[in-house]
Structure 1
Amino acid sequence: MSHPPLQPGWIDAPHRHAALGRFALESGESIDDLRVSYVVHGDPDDRSKPVILGLCAIGSTHHRLDFLIGAGRAFDPSRFTIVVVDALGNGLSSSPSNSATQPRSRFPRFTIGDMVSSQKRLLEHLRIDALHTVAGASMGGMQALQWGVQFAGFMSHIVALVPMAKTAPWAQAMNHAGRLALANANPEMARGGAATDWSAWIGVMHVFANRTPQRFASDAAQAGSVDAWLKQRTQWWSAQQYDPLDWTYQSWAYDAHDVGHTPGFGGDTARALASITARTMIGVPRLDLYNPVEDGEWAARQIPGSTLLRLPYDSGHMAASEADPAAAQFLNVEIGRFIGEA
């Protein structure tokens, strides 16, 4: 896809691409010509500042953490160099929608571990051999925990917001419902080229998964009615130009996620988490109807010395975003304090 229209609060940093050659996947298949899209906040040639790696959520881009980036915010470019990477399958990095040699359903399935490996290859390309912080929300938080297991010792801090270390059956069911909504509304999805009907998917993923009843009641009231909100949200999302097959591929990676599958841990999720040596903060809201709060709490208990940050807000999964201004301000303060610790 082309870059979506710039939204309020997004930072218009130069977009960069790295062509990294053939890339072997955990499945044994390969991406013919790996391309990783990313942005850098700060001077990429200034090696005097510690580096933060930002990761994006399912169906999002390198703008996902923009609410944490900027002067006086947790990720201040005057103190850090911030590299934010587009995950495999988001339409900017290598994806079913943009592959010349493996288009659409010929694109191989990938995992969250593959996303992390592609990011590590990018850092090698950029000659970055250590990170201060790896940070992400939702699927980005899941990638952050995978980083801590897969490349222990490479970073000193991890910030994982609304994550899971192993995808819960509830989240898998939400993704399954989202895929069915897309497939039933768009029977030619695998071939591409037709306008996408997102309306049913919006109900599943943007209402039931991402909001709480309290938050949706507020949003619907501001729009004038439930129908008005759904129509406005569908129109807005359609304008983002996201490809439904890309989201489907990312959702398969989401469903299969388990840090215990990292080589050396034999499927033992708790033991994998216990191997994390970075100082780790996990943030969870009061209620999350996508990634259950209990899964984040459990992950925090397995990681030695981890910090569990409770977000006292009612926006649900969206509490880890700019969509809740109070939560965003709270996170900037708490994350800034956390990553400033030695």
Structure 2
Amino acid sequence: MSDHEIFELGDVVLQSGATLRGATLAYKTYGKLNGRKDNVIVYPTWYSGQHVNNEWLIGRGMALDPERYFIIIPNMLGNGLSTSPSNTPPPYDRARFPNVTLYDNVTLQHRLVTEKFGIERVALVTGWSMGAQQTFQWGCLYPDMVERIVPFCGSAKTSRHNFVFLEGVKAALTADDAFQGGWYEKLPQKGLRAMARVYAGWGFSQAFYREQLDIKRMGYASLEDFLVGFWEGLFLVRDPNNLLAMLWTWQRGDISANPVFNGNFEKALAAVKARAIVMPGQTDLYFPPEDSQYEVKHMPNAKFLPIPSIWGHFAGGPGTNPEDVKFLDNVLKELMRS
């Protein structure tokens, strides 16, 4: 049985000009919407993740407490549950799936929140990685609706260096002959395994590997065991075309690349009225703190607060290091008390 619901979007014209016919958003809610409809938290998903992969930050006594808040996790387009290459019928199926932007994702999530639930105020938007990018997008597109944002381990605009990292990931996946330009008859496992190993050098920091936390803290028997058991295992269960669709969204991530801001990045940042705590990972290799410092400088009500961790990008999720989870949860609690 499915553990999520489906919001029917109808025919959706994307920024690319393509029309997704019969588009859908998969979502899951936690807790109950109160009578004033002011206890709402929106918590978007991350690259390759689905709503279940966000649940580590939700729980009784935590900042995202379903006994106090109505938490909505909308699944990104392309993640296999919402409209994606893997579940779209021809002619926009598989390798023909159109390009999707942050703007496309968030405007459709806004429809879910307003049309399905009649919500006019959102107490908090938060998310990790690509979820953080969507968090920034929520903040600038709907400044009079969103009261607080906490993007963690993610940026409002994908840097050139981040773009290049993802080119390596993409090249490793698509080099497999079995990929067949996206029209594969069987999963290109060599490509997925190669992609995982490229990713492995970036997801955690140099200090993480130097301290052998894959062995000492995560329980793997050796570095090779970690590369196979954690990294290859993470990607082998993903659909390659879905991964590439979300990768395109990530590479072109820019909260100003839309008709509202017309590419003026500083104007988009300045539009965020919400109380914001921007939390990069101190040792994140592709969403570095320097990017967040620039963003905070141009936001009117934002605080820069790095996560003091050697777990790299995974300081922000998905619940990998208990100390980092506690740090993040405490920050969220303090903000929600304000």
Select the residue among 100, 109, 115 that pairs with 1:119.
Answer: 109
Residue 194 of structure 2 is aligned to residue 204 of structure 1: no
Q: Matches of 1:235 and 1:161 in 2, distance apart? A: 25
Q: Matches of 2:157 and 2:335 in 1, distance apart? A: 24
Q: Matches of 1:234 and 1:165 in 2, distance apart? A: 26
Equivalent residue for 2:254? 258
Could you tell me how far 1:220 is from its partner in structure 2?
Answer: 4.7
Kindly provide the amino acid, as one letter, of the partner of residue 108 in structure 2: S
Equivalent residue for 2:136? 145
| 3-state secondary structure, aligned to 1:284 | coil
Residue 170 of structure 2 is aligned to residue 176 of structure 1: no
8 Å CA contact 2:128, 2:316 repeated in 1: yes
Equivalent residue for 1:103? 93
Q: What are the within-5 Å matches in structure 2 for residues 216-235 of structure 1?
A: 216=209, 217-220=212-215, 222-234=219-231
Q: Matches of 2:108 and 2:273 in 1, distance apart? A: 22
Deviations 1:35-62 (A, max 9, x none): 1101110135865551100111111111
- The 1:189–1:234 alpha-carbon spacing in structure 2 relative to 1, beyond 3 Å, is farther
8 Å CA contact 1:262, 1:272 repeated in 2: no
Q: Matches of 2:322 and 2:244 in 1, distance apart? A: 29
8 Å CA contact 1:168, 1:292 repeated in 2: no
Select the residue among 12, 25, 39 that pairs with 2:28.
Answer: 39
Q: Matches of 2:325 and 2:336 in 1, distance apart? A: 16
Select the residue among 38, 54, 70 that pairs with 2:43.
Answer: 54
8 Å CA contact 1:208, 1:289 repeated in 2: no
Could you tell me how far 1:213 is from its partner in structure 2?
Answer: 1.7
Q: Matches of 1:45 and 1:282 in 2, distance apart? A: 28
Stretches of structure 1 that go unaligned for 5 or more consecutive residues are 4-13
Could you tell me how far 1:257 is from its partner in structure 2?
Answer: 1.4
| 3-state secondary structure, aligned to 2:9 | strand
Equivalent residue for 1:297? 293
Equivalent residue for 1:11? none
8 Å CA contact 1:52, 1:81 repeated in 2: yes
Q: Matches of 1:250 and 1:120 in 2, distance apart? A: 19
- The 1:45–1:189 alpha-carbon spacing in structure 2 relative to 1, beyond 3 Å, is farther
Q: Which moved more, 1:228-237 or 1:101-110?
A: 228-237
Deviations 1:52-99 (A, max 9, x none): 001111111113432221111011111110010100100110001110
Could you tell me how far 1:196 is from its partner in structure 2?
Answer: 3.3
Kindly provide the amino acid, as one letter, of the partner of residue 114 in structure 1: D
Deviations 1:237-285 (A, max 9, x none): 256x311111111111111111222324332211210111111111012
Deviations 1:134-173 (A, max 9, x none): 1111111011101111122111111100121111011101
Kindly provide the amino acid, as one letter, of the partner of residue 320 in structure 1: G
Residue 272 of structure 2 is aligned to residue 276 of structure 1: yes
Deviations 1:296-333 (A, max 9, x none): 12111111120112211110110011111100011111
| 3-state secondary structure, aligned to 1:223 | coil
Q: Matches of 1:44 and 1:16 in 2, distance apart? A: 16
8 Å CA contact 1:132, 1:155 repeated in 2: yes
Q: Matches of 2:36 and 2:28 in 1, distance apart? A: 16
Q: Matches of 2:307 and 2:128 in 1, distance apart? A: 13
Kindly provide the amino acid, as one letter, of the partner of residue 283 in structure 1: M
Select the residue among 7, 15, 19 that pairs with 2:8.
Answer: 19
Give the number of aligned pairs.
Answer: 328
Q: Matches of 2:133 and 2:231 in 1, distance apart? A: 27
- The 1:164–1:235 alpha-carbon spacing in structure 2 relative to 1, beyond 3 Å, is closer
Q: Matches of 1:223 and 1:336 in 2, distance apart? A: 33
| 3-state secondary structure, aligned to 1:310 | coil
8 Å CA contact 1:220, 1:228 repeated in 2: no
Q: Which moved more, 1:210-219 or 1:267-276?
A: 210-219
Equivalent residue for 2:207? 214
Identity of aligned residues (%): 27
Q: Matches of 1:192 and 1:92 in 2, distance apart? A: 20
Equivalent residue for 1:237? 234
Q: Matches of 2:107 and 2:184 in 1, distance apart? A: 28
| 3-state secondary structure, aligned to 1:272 | helix
TM-score by length of 1: 0.90
Select the residue among 176, 183, 188 that pairs with 2:180.
Answer: 188
Q: What are the within-5 Å matches in structure 2 for residues 58-137 of structure 1?
A: 58-101=47-90, 102-126=92-116, 127-137=118-128
Select the residue among 125, 143, 161 that pairs with 2:152.
Answer: 161
Kindly provide the amino acid, as one letter, of the partner of residue 115 in structure 2: H
8 Å CA contact 2:255, 2:265 repeated in 1: yes
8 Å CA contact 2:37, 2:121 repeated in 1: no
Q: Which moved more, 1:46-55 or 1:92-101?
A: 46-55
Q: Matches of 1:48 and 1:144 in 2, distance apart? A: 20
What's the Cα RMSD here? 1.9
